[in-house]
Amino acid sequence: MEVSDAEKAYGVAQARGLNIVFELKSEEWGQRHFCIEDPNGIHIDIVQSFEPSEEYQSDYVGD
């Protein structure tokens, strides 16, 4: 699920006692995300998109 502010969403998830199975992390390919597990065992990735790092772009995106 895409959100505009992953840090804020993470705080809400913590405050509500949701089962966080992957801690908040920034990825070089342009995502800040964490993962929760719903009561049925389904994992939901909460994602904020941003520009990939320059190194990632030069290595994988190309011109």
Sorted by where each begins, the domain ranges of the chain are 6-61
Higher pLDDT, 51 or 8: 8
Residue 62 has pLDDT above 80, yes or no: no
CB atoms < 10 A from the CB of 33, how many? 21
Which pLDDT does position 63 carry in this prediction? 60
Residue 61 has pLDDT above 90, yes or no: no
The separation between the first and the last C-alpha atoms of the chain, rounded to the nearest angstrom, is: 29
Which residues are bridge partners to 27 per DSSP? 31
SS3 58: helix
Report pLDDT digits (tens) over 12-59.
999 999 999 999 999 989 999 999 999 999 999 999 999 888 888 888
CATH of domain 6-61: 3.30.720.110
